[in-house]
Structure 1
């Protein structure tokens, strides 16, 4: 029984850490918060990770029911995620993201932090279709209370690691300066747009095949 729990725990951790992949998404977070103060960057990371954690837990317990009730498929979720990512990548390519100046009114900065912390940082960057599907599948495979507790605990651990990686990445922003951040933003914009295309077509392909087969 103990060995089974350890095996399950390793499976949960590796799958979620790979799907969320905070190391690769950290540059995107950095570019989007490049011109915010250190306090605001930490606040943004905190809000994004909390929203992602709550979303994953909600889907873990009720995701399959919600998907079935609304007739939503994971592939549709991937398509929407791809569209959001593409729009975000385009803005990054134009070096428009993170252009919020410290001289702007506090209310506008609050709105900016609130906006990006939920979409696209929390959803779909941290809590994407893969992570949501993984949470639903692994919860269905958790047949005991201990398995469910391990699943929730490790989801929380991975989200905490994501928060720490994002906060630690802010030191790189300070080191690069304004010019370096703009260069990195454009490079990351290209990468994000490529990811967006992959997301979009990985969701579209099964839908098209189903339509042709029917």
Structure 2
């Protein structure tokens, strides 16, 4: 069995591409960087991409631990992230400028970090999807290795003590007993 699951990779790629929506972010990027020079736009684009990638990787590796430590569920993260995206969208829709932004063409804030990298590219939807896919990948890997260990263990128990319940929670490979019939 290969360590690279093409079907899972394709599903992750398509899901993250749809959630992040890079083509849909282009007009927002152009609007937010309209007063920047070409070099500043390239730098902002690179910064947004690297920060979004970093956020996704950090949450893929440590997101579940972080959420468990803070006592936050994935559903709560989704709900609060949706509200955050709504507020950012309303701010962008209204054309509201921050107090730190100047009208003379310069910008006192870095638009590559907020709102481009987070929450538009690496927002709550992307973070939650990444964490769910990581959990699925880990559980699938442990199921594959764990199933082999459980079936081998159950077979040895049934073979060593025929006619007695094997004690496994699932169907035993060494006998035809179900968990309900073992009493």
TM-score tier by shorter-chain length is: 0.5 to 0.7
2:139 corresponds to 1:141: no
1:164-175 mapped onto 2 (5 Å cutoff): none
Q: 1:80-133 CA distances to partner (integer Å, 9 max, x unpaired)?
A: 4444444444443444559756654xxxx4x422xx222221111111222111
1:95–1:19: structure 2 CA closer, same or farther, 3 Å change rule? closer
The answer to whether the aligner puts 1:125 opposite 2:120 as a matched pair is yes
Question: Structure 2 vs 1, CA of residues 36 and 133 (structure 1 numbering), >3 Å: closer, same or farther?
Answer: same
Q: Given that residues 35 and 105 in structure 2 are in contact (C-alpha distance below 8 angstroms), is that contact kept between their aligned partners in structure 1?
A: no
- Under a length normalisation based on structure 2, what TM-score does the superposition of the two structures give? 0.62
Question: Residue in 1 aligned with 2:67?
Answer: 67
The 10-residue stretch of structure 1 (70-79 or 54-63) with the greater mean CA deviation from structure 2: 70-79
3-state SS in 2 of match to 1:8 = helix
CA–CA distance in structure 2, aligned partners of residues 80 and 37 of structure 1: 35
TM-score between both structures, scaled by the size of structure 1 = 0.54
1:201 maps to what in 2? none
Q: Are 1:57 and 2:73 matched, yes or no? A: no
Structure 1: state its 5+ residue gaps. 145-214
Report matched runs for 1:1-40 at 5 Å.
1-2=1-2, 5-40=5-40
| CA–CA distance in structure 2, aligned partners of residues 136 and 39 of structure 1 | 34
Q: Residues 84-99 of structure 1: matches in 2 within 5 Å?
A: 84-96=84-96
Deviation sequence 1:136-164 (CA, Å, 0-9, x none): 122222245xxxxxxxxxxxxxxxxxxxx
- Secondary structure of the residue aligned to 2:57 is helix
Q: C-alpha separation between the residues in 1 aligned to 2:136 and 2:75?
A: 21
CA distance in 2, matches of 1:3, 1:86: 39
Distance 1:38 1:55 in 2: 26
Larger radius of gyration between Structure 1 and Structure 2: 2
Counterparts of 2:8 and 2:94, CA distance in 1? 44
Distance 1:100 1:74 in 2: 38
Moved over 6 A (4+): none
Kept after mapping to 1: 8 A contact 2:45/2:112:
yes
